[in-house]
Copies of this chain bind each other. A is one copy, B any other.
Amino acid sequence: MDYTVTIDALPTLSFGRKVAIVTNPKVAGLHLAYVMARIQAKELYVITVPDGESYKTLSTIETILENCFEHRLDRKSLLIGLGGGVIGDMTGFAASLFQRGIDFVQIPTTLLAQVDASVGGKTGINNRFGKNLIGAFHQPKAVYIDPSFLTTLPAREYQAGIAEIIKMAVTFDSAFFAWLEKANLRDKSDIAYAIEQSVRIKARVVAMDEKEQGIRAALNYGHTFGHVIEHEAGYGHYLHGEAVAIGMVMANALAVRLGLMQAQEAARVEKLLKHYDLPTHFAIADVEHFYDLFFMDKKSANDAITFILPKGIGDVALRNDIPKVDVVAVLAAQGA
């Protein structure tokens, strides 16, 4: 993967080709003028799509593509995703499909997108069967992470981004986790360092396993449970990072039950999540129904669910042999 990640104020970018910025009205109102002032292109277009996870659909992708054709973009043109994870995933997916693949660049504006979604080339959309079930692997040519965007981010979205930072630390870096326990991620220089560490971890894992045939799946820690929680609560109820926070606590409970993680380590993770006001509990009305929904999740293969379970803090196991009885016991312990 030959893309660059820049963590700094957005530099002036010169493209000798047609460029279209894909964004939504909310982000456009906050940041579009700032970004457009820094982009030079042969022709520059803006494609606006509705804001929110509920619009992360094939229908919105069609709208983006229609705009690309209307503007007569060609195989040498470039798309820029300006926004959060939803915008980034859809911009990358549209870029992968347009004339069988054109270049794209990510300018993530949310903390979650800056620390996780913008790096790694996973693109896609949701459908009625679940999240990100249709998509492509398509790497951005460059990712520009400008921390100044975070000043306008609502507190709740900011916290949701912190969940993914904690995820990176629990799965791959115990020293980073220990640092997080002492840091103040609402501080400007601490969050810049945390973004840098998260992107470093993410990029290293993706470089080892771009197509997620092995270790990259570890980044789905909290997501196996989290995706089902998002589905059950209804898309939009929880922010992605919030659902992942609950999912991490559930995965930890399973890891503790199986003897992979000490209860005290699970407690440290939960304490850190709570410190940033993240939810850590989801009442499950129907445990069997919840369990069934794992099988529509894309991390399952040949009817075995792969659980990502911490082996303490800073290491992780991928296990597809967990007996249903153990999973159900953990789900039941959540209460209805």
Contact = CB atoms under 8 A, between A and B. Distances in A.
B295 A72 contact: yes
Given A69-B133, A136-B136, A296-B69, A302 B96 contact: no
Interface string A294-305: 011010111100
A58 interface: yes
Given A17-B302, A58-B62, A100-B122, A72 B136 contact: no
Contact of A134 (B75, B97, B122, B301): B97
A127 B58 CA distance: 14
A102 to B, nearest CB: 10
A145 interface: no
Given A62-B58, A69-B127, A100 B136 contact: yes
Given A99-B298, A134-B98, A137-B101, A303 B74 contact: yes
Given A69-B127, A72-B295, 15 more contacts: A17-B302, A65-B127, A65-B134, A69-B133, A72-B296, A74-B300, A74-B301, A75-B298, A97-B134, A97-B135, A97-B136, A98-B134, A100-B136, A101-B137, A136-B136
A74 to B, nearest CB: 5
Interface of A: 17-18, 42, 58, 62, 65, 69, 72, 74-76, 96-101, 122-124, 127, 129, 132-137, 211, 295-296, 298, 300-303
Contacts of A211: 100-101
A136 B101 contact: yes
A211 B75 CA distance: 11
A296 B300 CA distance: 41
Nearest to A299: B75
Nearest to A75: B301
A198 to B, nearest CB: 22
